[in-house]
Structure 1
Amino acid sequence: MSGTLLQAIAAAAVLSSAAQPSPGAKTAPPEGRRGYWWYQAPEPESPAAEEPLPKPRIPPMAELAAWTPPRIRKLIEDQRDYAATVLTVEAVADFWRLEDFARRKARAFAGLTQIAMLQNPELNAKSANPMVGDARAQLAAQKDTIRNAYLRAKANEFALVMFSRVSCGYCRVQWPIIQRFQDETGWQVTRIDLDERPEAGSRFGVEVTPTTMVIRRGSQQRMIVATGVEAYPTLAQMTYQAVRLLRGDIRPEQFMTGPGEDAGFFDALGNGPVAAGSSGRGLTNIASTSLGGDVP
Protein backbone atom coordinates (compact mmCIF):
# COMPACT_ATOMS: atom_id res chain seq x y z
CA MET A 1 0.00 0.00 0.00
CA SER A 2 1.42 3.27 -1.04
CA GLY A 3 2.05 6.12 1.35
CA THR A 4 -0.53 8.30 -0.37
CA LEU A 5 -3.25 5.70 0.15
CA LEU A 6 -2.35 5.30 3.83
CA GLN A 7 -2.56 9.04 4.32
CA ALA A 8 -6.00 9.14 2.68
CA ILE A 9 -7.32 6.32 4.93
CA ALA A 10 -5.99 8.05 8.07
CA ALA A 11 -7.59 11.36 7.09
CA ALA A 12 -10.96 9.63 6.48
CA ALA A 13 -10.79 7.97 9.92
CA VAL A 14 -10.12 11.33 11.61
CA LEU A 15 -13.08 12.95 9.85
CA SER A 16 -15.37 10.01 10.76
CA SER A 17 -14.47 10.18 14.46
CA ALA A 18 -15.01 13.93 14.53
CA ALA A 19 -18.52 13.47 13.09
CA GLN A 20 -19.59 11.03 15.87
CA PRO A 21 -21.23 12.68 18.95
CA SER A 22 -19.37 12.34 22.17
CA PRO A 23 -21.06 10.43 25.04
CA GLY A 24 -23.67 12.63 26.74
CA ALA A 25 -23.71 15.20 23.95
CA LYS A 26 -27.11 16.33 22.69
CA THR A 27 -27.84 16.34 19.01
CA ALA A 28 -30.56 18.10 17.12
CA PRO A 29 -33.31 15.79 15.80
CA PRO A 30 -33.12 14.89 12.12
CA GLU A 31 -34.74 17.25 9.72
CA GLY A 32 -38.47 16.57 9.46
CA ARG A 33 -38.60 14.62 12.77
CA ARG A 34 -40.43 16.66 15.33
CA GLY A 35 -42.78 15.75 18.17
CA TYR A 36 -42.82 13.94 21.50
CA TRP A 37 -40.32 11.15 20.66
CA TRP A 38 -37.71 13.59 19.39
CA TYR A 39 -38.16 16.18 22.17
CA GLN A 40 -34.88 17.46 23.51
CA ALA A 41 -35.11 18.66 27.14
CA PRO A 42 -33.48 22.02 27.80
CA GLU A 43 -30.51 22.31 30.05
CA PRO A 44 -31.59 22.89 33.68
CA GLU A 45 -30.97 26.42 34.82
CA SER A 46 -28.83 26.85 37.86
CA PRO A 47 -30.64 28.82 40.62
CA ALA A 48 -29.55 32.42 40.82
CA ALA A 49 -27.72 33.29 43.97
CA GLU A 50 -29.94 35.37 46.31
CA GLU A 51 -28.56 38.79 46.91
CA PRO A 52 -27.75 39.58 50.53
CA LEU A 53 -30.37 41.63 52.33
CA PRO A 54 -29.10 45.21 52.73
CA LYS A 55 -28.94 46.66 56.19
CA PRO A 56 -31.58 49.40 56.59
CA ARG A 57 -30.32 52.86 57.42
CA ILE A 58 -31.73 54.04 60.74
CA PRO A 59 -31.54 57.84 60.94
CA PRO A 60 -31.07 59.81 64.16
CA MET A 61 -34.24 60.14 66.24
CA ALA A 62 -34.44 63.87 65.51
CA GLU A 63 -34.65 63.10 61.79
CA LEU A 64 -36.95 60.12 62.32
CA ALA A 65 -39.40 62.31 64.24
CA ALA A 66 -40.13 64.27 61.04
CA TRP A 67 -40.97 61.13 59.03
CA THR A 68 -44.55 60.26 58.13
CA PRO A 69 -46.14 57.17 59.76
CA PRO A 70 -46.14 55.11 56.51
CA ARG A 71 -42.41 55.77 56.06
CA ILE A 72 -41.69 54.82 59.68
CA ARG A 73 -43.76 51.65 59.31
CA LYS A 74 -41.79 50.70 56.18
CA LEU A 75 -38.49 51.18 58.02
CA ILE A 76 -39.69 49.03 60.93
CA GLU A 77 -40.73 46.26 58.53
CA ASP A 78 -37.39 46.40 56.71
CA GLN A 79 -35.46 46.26 59.98
CA ARG A 80 -37.58 43.36 61.18
CA ASP A 81 -36.85 41.36 58.03
CA TYR A 82 -33.16 42.23 58.24
CA ALA A 83 -32.94 41.23 61.90
CA ALA A 84 -34.78 37.95 61.30
CA THR A 85 -32.32 37.18 58.48
CA VAL A 86 -28.97 37.99 60.07
CA LEU A 87 -30.05 37.07 63.63
CA THR A 88 -27.65 39.28 65.53
CA VAL A 89 -28.27 40.94 68.87
CA GLU A 90 -27.51 44.36 67.42
CA ALA A 91 -29.99 44.00 64.53
CA VAL A 92 -32.76 42.73 66.82
CA ALA A 93 -32.10 45.55 69.31
CA ASP A 94 -32.35 48.11 66.50
CA PHE A 95 -35.73 46.69 65.53
CA TRP A 96 -37.06 47.06 69.07
CA ARG A 97 -35.62 50.57 69.31
CA LEU A 98 -37.73 51.48 66.29
CA GLU A 99 -40.77 49.82 67.84
CA ASP A 100 -40.20 51.79 71.04
CA PHE A 101 -39.99 55.01 69.01
CA ALA A 102 -43.30 54.20 67.30
CA ARG A 103 -44.90 53.40 70.66
CA ARG A 104 -43.78 56.71 72.15
CA LYS A 105 -45.00 58.61 69.08
CA ALA A 106 -48.42 56.96 69.40
CA ARG A 107 -48.45 57.80 73.11
CA ALA A 108 -47.69 61.43 72.32
CA PHE A 109 -50.53 61.50 69.78
CA ALA A 110 -52.92 60.06 72.38
CA GLY A 111 -51.87 62.70 74.90
CA LEU A 112 -52.46 65.52 72.45
CA THR A 113 -55.81 63.95 71.57
CA GLN A 114 -56.94 64.21 75.20
CA ILE A 115 -55.99 67.88 75.30
CA ALA A 116 -57.81 68.51 72.00
CA MET A 117 -60.94 66.78 73.35
CA LEU A 118 -60.89 68.92 76.50
CA GLN A 119 -60.46 72.12 74.53
CA ASN A 120 -63.01 71.14 71.88
CA PRO A 121 -65.87 69.33 73.66
CA GLU A 122 -67.93 69.18 70.47
CA LEU A 123 -65.43 66.59 69.21
CA ASN A 124 -65.70 64.49 72.36
CA ALA A 125 -68.33 61.73 72.57
CA LYS A 126 -68.48 62.11 76.35
CA SER A 127 -70.25 65.44 75.90
CA ALA A 128 -73.21 63.58 74.34
CA ASN A 129 -72.74 60.06 75.74
CA PRO A 130 -71.68 60.05 79.41
CA MET A 131 -70.05 56.90 80.76
CA VAL A 132 -71.17 57.26 84.40
CA GLY A 133 -73.98 54.85 85.26
CA ASP A 134 -76.44 57.33 86.81
CA ALA A 135 -75.92 59.80 83.98
CA ARG A 136 -76.48 57.10 81.37
CA ALA A 137 -79.75 56.07 83.02
CA GLN A 138 -80.93 59.69 83.00
CA LEU A 139 -79.93 60.09 79.35
CA ALA A 140 -81.83 56.91 78.40
CA ALA A 141 -84.94 58.15 80.19
CA GLN A 142 -84.68 61.51 78.42
CA LYS A 143 -84.41 59.81 75.02
CA ASP A 144 -87.43 57.59 75.77
CA THR A 145 -89.48 60.68 76.66
CA ILE A 146 -88.55 62.47 73.42
CA ARG A 147 -89.18 59.39 71.27
CA ASN A 148 -92.54 58.49 72.85
CA ALA A 149 -93.80 62.08 72.62
CA TYR A 150 -92.85 62.20 68.92
CA LEU A 151 -94.52 58.86 68.14
CA ARG A 152 -97.71 59.74 70.04
CA ALA A 153 -97.95 62.99 68.08
CA LYS A 154 -97.88 60.99 64.81
CA ALA A 155 -100.43 58.33 65.84
CA ASN A 156 -103.07 59.65 63.43
CA GLU A 157 -100.61 59.86 60.55
CA PHE A 158 -98.99 56.41 60.70
CA ALA A 159 -99.87 52.81 61.58
CA LEU A 160 -97.99 49.59 62.27
CA VAL A 161 -98.66 46.32 60.40
CA MET A 162 -97.34 42.89 61.33
CA PHE A 163 -97.42 40.14 58.69
CA SER A 164 -97.71 36.63 60.15
CA ARG A 165 -98.76 33.05 59.49
CA VAL A 166 -100.67 30.52 61.58
CA SER A 167 -97.68 28.18 61.49
CA CYS A 168 -95.23 30.92 62.60
CA GLY A 169 -94.29 30.42 66.25
CA TYR A 170 -92.17 33.57 66.30
CA CYS A 171 -95.23 35.58 65.27
CA ARG A 172 -96.93 34.64 68.54
CA VAL A 173 -93.90 36.09 70.36
CA GLN A 174 -93.77 39.31 68.32
CA TRP A 175 -97.48 40.19 68.45
CA PRO A 176 -97.58 41.04 72.19
CA ILE A 177 -94.63 43.38 71.58
CA ILE A 178 -96.61 45.08 68.82
CA GLN A 179 -99.57 45.42 71.19
CA ARG A 180 -97.33 47.02 73.79
CA PHE A 181 -96.26 49.54 71.16
CA GLN A 182 -99.95 50.35 70.65
CA ASP A 183 -100.46 50.85 74.38
CA GLU A 184 -97.39 53.10 74.69
CA THR A 185 -97.98 55.29 71.62
CA GLY A 186 -101.69 55.11 70.81
CA TRP A 187 -100.99 53.89 67.28
CA GLN A 188 -103.31 51.63 65.33
CA VAL A 189 -101.72 48.22 64.80
CA THR A 190 -102.90 45.54 62.39
CA ARG A 191 -102.06 41.87 62.00
CA ILE A 192 -102.26 40.31 58.52
CA ASP A 193 -102.19 36.54 58.13
CA LEU A 194 -100.50 35.68 54.83
CA ASP A 195 -102.10 32.22 54.82
CA GLU A 196 -105.51 33.87 54.69
CA ARG A 197 -104.44 36.77 52.44
CA PRO A 198 -101.58 35.53 50.23
CA GLU A 199 -102.07 38.46 47.87
CA ALA A 200 -100.93 40.80 50.66
CA GLY A 201 -97.51 39.19 50.67
CA SER A 202 -97.09 39.86 46.97
CA ARG A 203 -98.52 43.36 47.27
CA PHE A 204 -96.14 44.43 50.01
CA GLY A 205 -93.15 42.25 49.02
CA VAL A 206 -93.22 40.25 52.26
CA GLU A 207 -91.98 36.66 52.36
CA VAL A 208 -90.56 36.24 55.88
CA THR A 209 -92.79 36.22 58.95
CA PRO A 210 -93.03 37.98 61.24
CA THR A 211 -92.37 41.19 59.31
CA THR A 212 -93.35 44.50 60.87
CA MET A 213 -93.93 47.53 58.65
CA VAL A 214 -94.75 51.18 59.33
CA ILE A 215 -97.04 52.81 56.78
CA ARG A 216 -98.13 56.39 56.25
CA ARG A 217 -101.85 56.85 55.85
CA GLY A 218 -103.13 58.21 52.57
CA SER A 219 -99.75 57.97 50.85
CA GLN A 220 -97.49 55.53 49.08
CA GLN A 221 -94.88 55.54 51.83
CA ARG A 222 -94.02 52.50 53.92
CA MET A 223 -90.93 51.00 55.48
CA ILE A 224 -90.04 47.68 57.14
CA VAL A 225 -88.88 48.24 60.72
CA ALA A 226 -88.44 44.64 61.91
CA THR A 227 -87.92 41.22 60.37
CA GLY A 228 -88.28 38.39 62.86
CA VAL A 229 -88.72 38.88 66.59
CA GLU A 230 -87.55 42.31 67.78
CA ALA A 231 -87.43 43.59 71.36
CA TYR A 232 -89.68 46.51 72.23
CA PRO A 233 -86.91 49.16 72.71
CA THR A 234 -85.43 48.35 69.32
CA LEU A 235 -88.84 48.25 67.64
CA ALA A 236 -89.75 51.63 69.10
CA GLN A 237 -86.43 53.16 68.06
CA MET A 238 -86.60 51.79 64.50
CA THR A 239 -90.19 53.03 64.13
CA TYR A 240 -89.18 56.46 65.42
CA GLN A 241 -86.35 56.68 62.89
CA ALA A 242 -88.55 55.39 60.04
CA VAL A 243 -91.29 57.95 60.73
CA ARG A 244 -88.80 60.80 60.84
CA LEU A 245 -87.31 59.62 57.54
CA LEU A 246 -90.66 59.17 55.80
CA ARG A 247 -91.82 62.62 56.93
CA GLY A 248 -88.60 64.24 55.73
CA ASP A 249 -87.53 65.32 59.21
CA ILE A 250 -84.16 63.65 58.61
CA ARG A 251 -82.20 62.48 55.60
CA PRO A 252 -81.16 58.85 55.02
CA GLU A 253 -77.64 59.71 56.22
CA GLN A 254 -79.17 60.66 59.59
CA PHE A 255 -81.09 57.42 60.08
CA MET A 256 -79.00 56.49 63.14
CA THR A 257 -79.56 59.86 64.80
CA GLY A 258 -81.38 59.12 68.05
CA PRO A 259 -83.84 61.22 70.06
CA GLY A 260 -82.28 64.50 71.13
CA GLU A 261 -79.16 63.97 69.01
CA ASP A 262 -80.05 66.35 66.17
CA ALA A 263 -77.11 68.63 65.24
CA GLY A 264 -75.05 66.93 67.95
CA PHE A 265 -72.07 64.61 68.10
CA PHE A 266 -73.98 61.59 66.71
CA ASP A 267 -75.71 63.48 63.88
CA ALA A 268 -73.96 62.54 60.62
CA LEU A 269 -74.92 65.89 59.09
CA GLY A 270 -74.48 67.95 62.25
CA ASN A 271 -71.58 69.90 60.76
CA GLY A 272 -72.69 69.91 57.15
CA PRO A 273 -72.81 67.46 54.21
CA VAL A 274 -70.60 64.38 54.29
CA ALA A 275 -71.23 63.24 50.71
CA ALA A 276 -71.71 64.84 47.31
CA GLY A 277 -75.43 64.01 47.30
CA SER A 278 -76.21 65.09 50.85
CA SER A 279 -78.14 68.16 49.74
CA GLY A 280 -80.95 66.34 47.90
CA ARG A 281 -83.87 64.12 48.76
CA GLY A 282 -83.41 60.38 48.81
CA LEU A 283 -86.74 58.69 49.61
CA THR A 284 -87.77 57.42 46.16
CA ASN A 285 -86.84 53.81 46.96
CA ILE A 286 -88.65 53.91 50.32
CA ALA A 287 -92.07 54.94 48.99
CA SER A 288 -92.51 53.22 45.66
CA THR A 289 -95.70 51.16 45.96
CA SER A 290 -99.23 52.42 46.63
CA LEU A 291 -100.97 51.35 49.83
CA GLY A 292 -104.37 52.24 48.50
CA GLY A 293 -104.48 55.27 50.78
CA ASP A 294 -105.48 53.31 53.91
CA VAL A 295 -104.33 50.75 56.44
CA PRO A 296 -104.77 47.26 54.97
Structure 2
Amino acid sequence: MGNLLKTKDLLRGVAALVALGMLAPALASAGFYIQSDRPGYYWGKDPVEPEGPEQEKPKPQVAAPKQEQKEEPKKYEWESRAELKFSDFTPQQLWDMKPKELAALLEAFKDQSVWRPTEEHVHDTYAMIDIARRKSSAFANVQQYVVNKYPEISTERDYPMAVPGKEAIRQAKTQEVNQRVAQASNDYGLIYFYKPGCPYCEAEEKILRFFVSSRRFDVQPVNIQEQPGVAAQFGITITPSLVLIKRGNSQPLPISYGVIALDELEARVFNGVRLLDGQTTPEQYGVREYERGGAFDPTAPLNR
Protein backbone atom coordinates (compact mmCIF):
# COMPACT_ATOMS: atom_id res chain seq x y z
CA MET A 1 0.00 0.00 0.00
CA GLY A 2 3.04 2.29 -0.36
CA ASN A 3 1.67 4.31 -3.27
CA LEU A 4 -1.60 4.82 -1.43
CA LEU A 5 -0.05 7.19 1.15
CA LYS A 6 -0.71 10.43 -0.76
CA THR A 7 -3.08 12.23 1.55
CA LYS A 8 -1.67 12.26 5.09
CA ASP A 9 -2.85 15.85 5.35
CA LEU A 10 -6.41 14.56 5.23
CA LEU A 11 -6.03 13.15 8.77
CA ARG A 12 -4.42 16.14 10.49
CA GLY A 13 -7.77 17.51 11.58
CA VAL A 14 -8.75 14.06 12.83
CA ALA A 15 -5.67 13.83 15.05
CA ALA A 16 -6.60 17.12 16.68
CA LEU A 17 -10.09 15.89 17.46
CA VAL A 18 -8.76 12.66 18.96
CA ALA A 19 -6.37 14.62 21.16
CA LEU A 20 -9.30 16.42 22.75
CA GLY A 21 -10.39 13.15 24.29
CA MET A 22 -7.21 13.10 26.39
CA LEU A 23 -8.00 16.40 28.13
CA ALA A 24 -10.81 15.16 30.38
CA PRO A 25 -8.62 13.17 32.85
CA ALA A 26 -6.16 16.06 33.09
CA LEU A 27 -8.90 18.56 33.89
CA ALA A 28 -10.34 16.25 36.54
CA SER A 29 -6.97 15.77 38.26
CA ALA A 30 -6.35 19.53 38.22
CA GLY A 31 -9.34 20.13 40.43
CA PHE A 32 -11.78 21.07 37.68
CA TYR A 33 -14.65 19.55 39.66
CA ILE A 34 -13.83 21.58 42.81
CA GLN A 35 -17.51 21.64 43.91
CA SER A 36 -17.71 17.89 44.38
CA ASP A 37 -19.14 18.37 47.91
CA ARG A 38 -22.14 20.18 46.49
CA PRO A 39 -25.29 18.01 46.61
CA GLY A 40 -26.92 17.16 43.35
CA TYR A 41 -27.15 14.41 40.76
CA TYR A 42 -24.15 15.71 38.80
CA TRP A 43 -21.91 15.22 41.85
CA GLY A 44 -23.08 11.71 42.70
CA LYS A 45 -25.38 12.68 45.62
CA ASP A 46 -29.10 12.98 45.96
CA PRO A 47 -30.34 16.59 46.09
CA VAL A 48 -31.56 17.82 49.52
CA GLU A 49 -35.30 18.34 49.63
CA PRO A 50 -36.51 21.48 51.49
CA GLU A 51 -38.02 20.77 54.91
CA GLY A 52 -41.75 21.23 55.37
CA PRO A 53 -45.02 19.38 55.72
CA GLU A 54 -45.29 16.44 53.42
CA GLN A 55 -47.91 16.89 50.77
CA GLU A 56 -49.23 14.05 48.74
CA LYS A 57 -48.65 14.73 45.07
CA PRO A 58 -51.66 14.18 42.82
CA LYS A 59 -51.36 11.10 40.66
CA PRO A 60 -51.43 11.80 36.93
CA GLN A 61 -54.59 10.79 35.16
CA VAL A 62 -53.91 8.05 32.67
CA ALA A 63 -56.41 7.86 29.86
CA ALA A 64 -57.78 4.43 29.16
CA PRO A 65 -56.57 3.05 25.83
CA LYS A 66 -59.13 3.31 23.09
CA GLN A 67 -60.39 0.05 21.76
CA GLU A 68 -60.14 -0.10 18.04
CA GLN A 69 -63.26 -1.28 16.35
CA LYS A 70 -62.52 -3.89 13.77
CA GLU A 71 -64.28 -3.26 10.51
CA GLU A 72 -66.34 -6.23 9.48
CA PRO A 73 -65.80 -7.50 5.96
CA LYS A 74 -68.37 -6.31 3.47
CA LYS A 75 -71.17 -8.72 2.72
CA TYR A 76 -72.31 -9.15 -0.87
CA GLU A 77 -75.86 -10.03 -1.89
CA TRP A 78 -74.87 -13.28 -3.58
CA GLU A 79 -73.18 -14.63 -0.43
CA SER A 80 -76.57 -15.55 1.03
CA ARG A 81 -77.46 -17.80 -1.87
CA ALA A 82 -77.55 -21.53 -1.28
CA GLU A 83 -76.05 -22.19 -4.71
CA LEU A 84 -74.18 -19.94 -7.12
CA LYS A 85 -75.00 -20.07 -10.82
CA PHE A 86 -73.08 -18.24 -13.50
CA SER A 87 -76.31 -17.75 -15.45
CA ASP A 88 -77.71 -15.63 -12.59
CA PHE A 89 -75.24 -12.85 -13.49
CA THR A 90 -75.26 -10.86 -16.71
CA PRO A 91 -71.93 -10.23 -18.46
CA GLN A 92 -72.38 -6.49 -17.79
CA GLN A 93 -72.91 -7.11 -14.06
CA LEU A 94 -69.70 -9.10 -13.85
CA TRP A 95 -67.79 -6.57 -15.97
CA ASP A 96 -68.89 -3.66 -13.77
CA MET A 97 -67.99 -5.36 -10.47
CA LYS A 98 -65.16 -3.83 -8.47
CA PRO A 99 -62.04 -6.00 -8.38
CA LYS A 100 -62.51 -7.07 -4.74
CA GLU A 101 -66.06 -8.27 -5.32
CA LEU A 102 -65.16 -10.01 -8.58
CA ALA A 103 -62.25 -11.78 -6.85
CA ALA A 104 -64.50 -12.81 -3.94
CA LEU A 105 -67.13 -14.16 -6.33
CA LEU A 106 -64.52 -16.11 -8.26
CA GLU A 107 -63.23 -17.67 -5.02
CA ALA A 108 -66.79 -18.58 -4.06
CA PHE A 109 -67.30 -20.35 -7.39
CA LYS A 110 -64.00 -22.20 -6.89
CA ASP A 111 -65.00 -23.33 -3.39
CA GLN A 112 -68.37 -24.51 -4.68
CA SER A 113 -66.89 -26.52 -7.56
CA VAL A 114 -64.35 -28.21 -5.26
CA TRP A 115 -67.03 -28.90 -2.66
CA ARG A 116 -69.46 -30.27 -5.24
CA PRO A 117 -67.52 -30.96 -8.46
CA THR A 118 -70.41 -31.27 -10.84
CA GLU A 119 -70.14 -30.43 -14.53
CA GLU A 120 -72.19 -27.27 -14.06
CA HIS A 121 -70.18 -26.03 -11.09
CA VAL A 122 -66.82 -26.60 -12.77
CA HIS A 123 -68.08 -24.95 -15.97
CA ASP A 124 -69.29 -21.90 -14.02
CA THR A 125 -65.90 -21.62 -12.29
CA TYR A 126 -64.05 -21.54 -15.61
CA ALA A 127 -66.57 -19.09 -17.00
CA MET A 128 -65.72 -16.78 -14.07
CA ILE A 129 -61.99 -17.28 -14.71
CA ASP A 130 -62.59 -16.31 -18.33
CA ILE A 131 -64.28 -13.06 -17.26
CA ALA A 132 -61.38 -12.24 -14.91
CA ARG A 133 -58.85 -12.99 -17.67
CA ARG A 134 -60.63 -10.69 -20.10
CA LYS A 135 -60.73 -7.89 -17.51
CA SER A 136 -56.98 -8.24 -17.02
CA SER A 137 -56.44 -8.25 -20.78
CA ALA A 138 -58.51 -5.05 -21.09
CA PHE A 139 -56.34 -3.35 -18.47
CA ALA A 140 -53.14 -4.48 -20.20
CA ASN A 141 -54.34 -3.12 -23.54
CA VAL A 142 -55.32 0.25 -22.08
CA GLN A 143 -52.02 0.35 -20.17
CA GLN A 144 -50.06 -0.11 -23.40
CA TYR A 145 -52.09 2.63 -25.09
CA VAL A 146 -51.62 5.06 -22.17
CA VAL A 147 -47.86 4.46 -21.97
CA ASN A 148 -47.50 5.13 -25.69
CA LYS A 149 -49.62 8.28 -25.47
CA TYR A 150 -48.00 9.67 -22.30
CA PRO A 151 -44.24 8.99 -22.49
CA GLU A 152 -43.53 10.78 -19.19
CA ILE A 153 -44.92 7.76 -17.28
CA SER A 154 -43.02 5.22 -19.36
CA THR A 155 -39.68 3.59 -18.47
CA GLU A 156 -38.78 2.65 -22.06
CA ARG A 157 -36.41 5.60 -22.53
CA ASP A 158 -34.50 5.06 -19.28
CA TYR A 159 -34.65 1.26 -19.30
CA PRO A 160 -34.73 0.08 -22.91
CA MET A 161 -35.23 -3.60 -23.66
CA ALA A 162 -33.47 -3.60 -27.04
CA VAL A 163 -29.77 -4.50 -27.05
CA PRO A 164 -28.64 -1.26 -28.81
CA GLY A 165 -30.55 0.77 -26.21
CA LYS A 166 -28.92 -1.12 -23.34
CA GLU A 167 -25.48 -0.49 -24.83
CA ALA A 168 -26.24 3.22 -25.18
CA ILE A 169 -27.22 3.40 -21.50
CA ARG A 170 -24.03 1.56 -20.47
CA GLN A 171 -21.83 3.96 -22.43
CA ALA A 172 -23.59 7.02 -21.01
CA LYS A 173 -23.21 5.71 -17.45
CA THR A 174 -19.52 4.85 -17.90
CA GLN A 175 -18.68 8.20 -19.47
CA GLU A 176 -20.41 10.17 -16.71
CA VAL A 177 -18.68 8.22 -13.93
CA ASN A 178 -15.24 8.48 -15.56
CA GLN A 179 -15.46 12.25 -16.03
CA ARG A 180 -16.80 13.02 -12.57
CA VAL A 181 -14.38 10.79 -10.66
CA ALA A 182 -11.43 12.18 -12.65
CA GLN A 183 -12.46 15.76 -11.81
CA ALA A 184 -12.85 14.90 -8.12
CA SER A 185 -9.41 13.29 -7.72
CA ASN A 186 -7.80 16.67 -6.92
CA ASP A 187 -10.12 17.55 -4.02
CA TYR A 188 -11.26 14.19 -2.72
CA GLY A 189 -9.70 11.15 -1.11
CA LEU A 190 -10.60 7.89 0.58
CA ILE A 191 -9.70 6.75 4.09
CA TYR A 192 -9.30 2.98 4.08
CA PHE A 193 -9.71 1.32 7.49
CA TYR A 194 -8.20 -2.13 7.76
CA LYS A 195 -6.90 -4.64 10.29
CA PRO A 196 -3.86 -6.93 9.90
CA GLY A 197 -4.82 -10.53 9.24
CA CYS A 198 -8.29 -9.60 7.95
CA PRO A 199 -8.92 -11.74 4.81
CA TYR A 200 -11.58 -9.34 3.58
CA CYS A 201 -9.12 -6.47 3.80
CA GLU A 202 -6.62 -8.36 1.64
CA ALA A 203 -9.32 -8.84 -1.01
CA GLU A 204 -10.33 -5.18 -0.90
CA GLU A 205 -6.70 -3.98 -1.14
CA LYS A 206 -6.35 -5.61 -4.55
CA ILE A 207 -9.38 -3.69 -5.76
CA LEU A 208 -8.10 -0.45 -4.23
CA ARG A 209 -4.72 -0.81 -5.92
CA PHE A 210 -6.40 -1.06 -9.30
CA PHE A 211 -8.69 1.86 -8.44
CA VAL A 212 -5.73 4.06 -7.47
CA SER A 213 -3.73 3.21 -10.59
CA SER A 214 -6.64 3.71 -12.98
CA ARG A 215 -8.35 6.70 -11.35
CA ARG A 216 -5.32 8.44 -9.74
CA PHE A 217 -7.44 8.71 -6.61
CA ASP A 218 -5.74 9.22 -3.23
CA VAL A 219 -6.31 6.53 -0.59
CA GLN A 220 -5.04 6.83 3.00
CA PRO A 221 -4.84 3.47 4.85
CA VAL A 222 -5.53 3.44 8.60
CA ASN A 223 -4.70 0.42 10.77
CA ILE A 224 -7.49 0.40 13.40
CA GLN A 225 -5.29 -1.55 15.83
CA GLU A 226 -2.53 1.06 15.71
CA GLN A 227 -4.90 4.05 15.52
CA PRO A 228 -8.05 3.08 17.45
CA GLY A 229 -8.81 6.73 18.21
CA VAL A 230 -9.13 7.57 14.52
CA ALA A 231 -11.39 4.57 13.97
CA ALA A 232 -13.57 5.61 16.91
CA GLN A 233 -13.79 9.16 15.60
CA PHE A 234 -15.32 7.85 12.37
CA GLY A 235 -17.41 5.18 14.11
CA ILE A 236 -15.56 2.35 12.39
CA THR A 237 -16.10 -1.12 13.84
CA ILE A 238 -15.96 -3.22 10.66
CA THR A 239 -13.03 -3.84 8.35
CA PRO A 240 -12.57 -3.12 5.58
CA SER A 241 -14.37 0.24 5.59
CA LEU A 242 -14.08 3.20 3.22
CA VAL A 243 -14.87 6.84 4.02
CA LEU A 244 -14.98 9.57 1.38
CA ILE A 245 -13.58 12.95 2.46
CA LYS A 246 -13.19 16.31 0.78
CA ARG A 247 -10.44 18.80 1.52
CA GLY A 248 -11.82 21.64 3.60
CA ASN A 249 -15.04 19.76 4.38
CA SER A 250 -15.60 18.47 7.92
CA GLN A 251 -18.42 16.12 6.89
CA PRO A 252 -16.97 12.72 5.89
CA LEU A 253 -19.22 10.28 4.03
CA PRO A 254 -18.97 6.52 4.70
CA ILE A 255 -19.44 4.66 1.43
CA SER A 256 -18.76 1.00 2.19
CA TYR A 257 -18.43 -1.63 4.91
CA GLY A 258 -16.97 -4.91 3.74
CA VAL A 259 -15.64 -5.93 0.34
CA ILE A 260 -17.14 -4.17 -2.68
CA ALA A 261 -16.34 -4.68 -6.35
CA LEU A 262 -14.55 -2.11 -8.50
CA ASP A 263 -17.62 -0.96 -10.44
CA GLU A 264 -19.60 -0.55 -7.21
CA LEU A 265 -16.73 1.37 -5.63
CA GLU A 266 -16.61 3.77 -8.58
CA ALA A 267 -20.38 4.24 -8.46
CA ARG A 268 -20.34 5.02 -4.74
CA VAL A 269 -17.48 7.48 -5.09
CA PHE A 270 -19.35 9.12 -7.96
CA ASN A 271 -22.58 9.43 -5.96
CA GLY A 272 -20.75 10.60 -2.84
CA VAL A 273 -18.83 13.32 -4.68
CA ARG A 274 -22.02 14.68 -6.22
CA LEU A 275 -23.73 14.69 -2.81
CA LEU A 276 -20.88 16.48 -1.00
CA ASP A 277 -20.63 18.99 -3.86
CA GLY A 278 -24.33 19.80 -3.50
CA GLN A 279 -25.14 18.54 -6.99
CA THR A 280 -27.69 16.01 -5.78
CA THR A 281 -29.81 15.17 -2.74
CA PRO A 282 -30.29 11.97 -0.73
CA GLU A 283 -33.62 11.50 -2.53
CA GLN A 284 -31.76 11.55 -5.87
CA TYR A 285 -28.60 9.86 -4.59
CA GLY A 286 -28.48 7.16 -7.27
CA VAL A 287 -30.01 9.22 -10.10
CA ARG A 288 -27.60 9.97 -12.95
CA GLU A 289 -27.61 13.25 -14.85
CA TYR A 290 -29.09 11.68 -17.96
CA GLU A 291 -31.88 10.22 -15.80
CA ARG A 292 -33.01 13.53 -14.29
CA GLY A 293 -36.63 14.24 -15.08
CA GLY A 294 -37.16 10.67 -16.26
CA ALA A 295 -38.94 7.60 -14.97
CA PHE A 296 -36.27 6.82 -12.36
CA ASP A 297 -36.09 10.34 -10.91
CA PRO A 298 -38.34 10.21 -7.81
CA THR A 299 -38.72 13.99 -7.66
CA ALA A 300 -39.53 14.49 -11.35
CA PRO A 301 -43.31 14.84 -10.81
CA LEU A 302 -42.65 17.63 -8.29
CA ASN A 303 -40.75 19.67 -10.86
CA ARG A 304 -43.16 19.40 -13.77
* TM-score after normalising by structure 2: 0.67
SS at 1:107's partner residue? helix
Which residue in 2 is equivalent to 1:34?
none
SS at 1:260's partner residue? helix
Which residue in 2 is equivalent to 1:54?
82
Partner of residue 245 from structure 2, selected from 215, 239, 258: 215
Letter in 1 for 2:201: C
Moved more, 78-87 or 142-151: 78-87
1:92-118: per-residue Cα shift (whole Å, max 9, x none)?
Answer: 211111111111111121122122222
Gaps of 5+ in 1: 1-51, 274-296
**d(CA) in 2 for partners of 1:239 and 1:74?**
51
Contact 2:241/2:258, CA 8 A, preserved across alignment: yes
Matched, 1:177 2:207: yes
SS at 2:156's partner residue? helix
Q: Percent identity over the alignment?
A: 27
Partner of residue 192 from structure 1, selected from 204, 209, 222: 222
Which residue in 1 is equivalent to 2:254?
224
Which residue in 1 is equivalent to 2:140?
110
Partner of residue 158 from structure 1, selected from 164, 188, 191: 188
**d(CA) in 2 for partners of 1:146 and 1:184?**
16
Contact 1:56/1:75, CA 8 A, preserved across alignment: no
Letter in 2 for 1:75: L
Matched, 1:243 2:273: yes
* TM-score after normalising by structure 1: 0.69
Residues 54 and 244 of structure 1: CA distance in aligned 2, closer, same or farther (over 3 Å):
farther
Alpha-carbon offset, residue 135 of structure 1: 3.0
Which residue in 2 is equivalent to 1:70?
100
Contact 1:143/1:259, CA 8 A, preserved across alignment: no
**d(CA) in 2 for partners of 1:158 and 1:256?**
19
Alpha-carbon offset, residue 53 of structure 1: 7.6
Alpha-carbon offset, residue 122 of structure 1: 2.4
Runs (4+) of structure 1 exceeding 3 A deviation are: 183-186
**d(CA) in 2 for partners of 1:184 and 1:166?**
25
Q: Bigger radius of gyration, 1 or 2? A: 1
SS at 1:160's partner residue? strand
Alignment of 1:2-41 (within 5 A): none
Letter in 1 for 2:153: L
Q: CA RMSD in A?
A: 2.1
Letter in 1 for 2:175: T
**d(CA) in 1 for partners of 2:147 and 2:269?**
34
Contact 1:122/1:265, CA 8 A, preserved across alignment: yes
Letter in 1 for 2:103: R
How many residue pairs are counted as aligned between the two chains? 222
